[in-house]
Amino acid sequence: MSAVRIVHVGPLTERFNQRLLQGRDVVQLWQQADALGYLAEHGAQFEVLVTSARFGCSAALLECLPNLRAICSFGVGYDAIAVEVARQRGIAISTTPDVLNDCVADLAMGLVIDTARQLPAADRFVREGRWLAGHYPLTRKVSGKRLGIVGLGRIGKDIARRAEGFAMPVRYHNRRADPSSDYGYEADLLALARWADFLVLACPGGAATHHLIDAAVLEALGPQGILINISRGSVVDQPALVAALLAGTLGGAGLDVFEAEPRVPEALFSLPNVVLLPHVGSGTEETRLQMEELVLANLQAFIDNGELLTPL
């Protein structure tokens, strides 16, 4: 049994929950009726916290853990982790980068095609017997269209590579140009939105990107433009998005993430040019297993030699 006490914030798969327990001193916080009350009493015992992009680690939680040395998180998003507080206290943080790039990029391209060609709506058309009464309306072509990426990072670059297979010119917007990339950089997000047929969001969530996609960006994308969001719901001004879609001033949207998940604006349910997914970007058996392995590998490396393998 490892001497390091670990607090596990929220459940992942039962397979992971059980593997984490093997040979380790782990407290499953969600089993405590009053989690913060429990930590107020016992928090000083814990040196490592295991969490996920979904459950995160708030500043209030950190306050109850005065001896915490590391946070090992499942997922690559860290917007639910009080990163600045952790940094100030010298608490190391690991996420699970790269192992999920393929699946999230696959899903982004899936949304590009599904939204432009209205595949879910066309599928509903067949299932509801409406094909017997007439043909499905024409939709929009994907190949060769212009793809703008907001956040050309690990996932963004994999989306760009896939888009090349569809002969799509790619440009991107980051806070600064990436010298390792040959894609055209656009410092002005509005200009990228005006240029793009598809604007794909692959930047982090959090305060710095909150409502980066506002009514002006949606207007610039325009009635033929399609917004794809696989980043975080907070990046988009959701009421402005719903208004633009209902008014027809935006051509369509493919969304894997929402501002108040799992709540999704019902006004979008009937729109054929909108595809709604329940935050499943990395959600395949293969990738989730790799993410679990990477959390455990980070944890073990920290216990063995005080170093995380994939620090933030």
Stretch that binds ligand NAP, among 12-20, 42-50, 86-94, 171-179 (CB under 6 A): 171-179
- Per the annotation, the verdict on 261 as an active-site residue is yes
Judged by CB, which is closer to ligand NAP: 13, or 31? 13
- Per the annotation, the verdict on 124 as an active-site residue is no
Catalytic residue among 162, 173, 232, 288: 232
With CA atoms as reference, report the closest residue to 253 among 243, 264, 241, 240: 241
CA distances from 274 to 120, 154, 248 (A): 9, 26, 12
DSSP the chain: --SSEEEE-S---HHHHHHHHTTSEEEEGGGSSSHHHHHHHHGGG-SEEEEETTT-B-HHHHHT-TT--EEEEESS--TTB-HHHHHHTT-EEE---STTHHHHHHHHHHHHHHHHHTHHHHHHHHHTTGGGG-PPPP----TT--EEEE--SHHHHHHHHHHHTTT--EEEE-SS--TT--SEE-S-HHHHHHH-SEEEE-S--SGGGTT-B-HHHHHHH-TT-EEEE-S-GGGB-HHHHHHHHHHTSS-EEEES--TBTTB--GGGTT-TTEEE--S-TT-SHHHHHHHHHHHHHHHHHHHHHS--SSB-
- Per the annotation, the verdict on 54 as an active-site residue is no
Stretch that binds ligand NAP, among 132-140, 197-205, 243-251, 302-310 (CB under 6 A): 197-205
Q: How far is the CB of 53 from ligand NAP (least distance, A)?
A: 7
Residues 97, 120, 222, 272: which binds ligand NAP (CB under 6 A)? Answer: 97
Stretch that binds ligand NAP, among 19-27, 44-52, 117-125, 148-156 (CB under 6 A): 148-156
Residues 228, 257, 295, 308: which binds ligand NAP (CB under 6 A)? Answer: 257
Q: How far is the CB of 19 from ligand NAP (least distance, A)?
A: 22
Q: How far is the CB of 182 from ligand NAP (least distance, A)?
A: 15
Query: Is residue 236 within the footprint of ligand NAP (CB under 6 A)?
Result: no
Q: Using CB under 6 A as the criterion, what x/- string covers residues 73-92 for binding ligand NAP? A: ---xx---------------
Query: Is residue 174 within the footprint of ligand NAP (CB under 6 A)?
Result: yes
Catalytic residue among 41, 164, 261, 286: 261
Residues 155, 217, 236, 291: which binds ligand NAP (CB under 6 A)? Answer: 155
Residues 9, 48, 71, 230: which binds ligand NAP (CB under 6 A)? Answer: 230
CA distances from 189 to 68, 117, 269 (A): 39, 26, 28
The residue with its CB nearest to ligand NAP is 153
Query: Is residue 281 within the footprint of ligand NAP (CB under 6 A)?
Result: yes
Active site residues: 232, 261, 279
Residues that bind ligand NAP (CB under 6 A): 76-77, 97, 100, 104, 150-156, 173-176, 202-205, 208-209, 230-232, 256-257, 279, 281-282
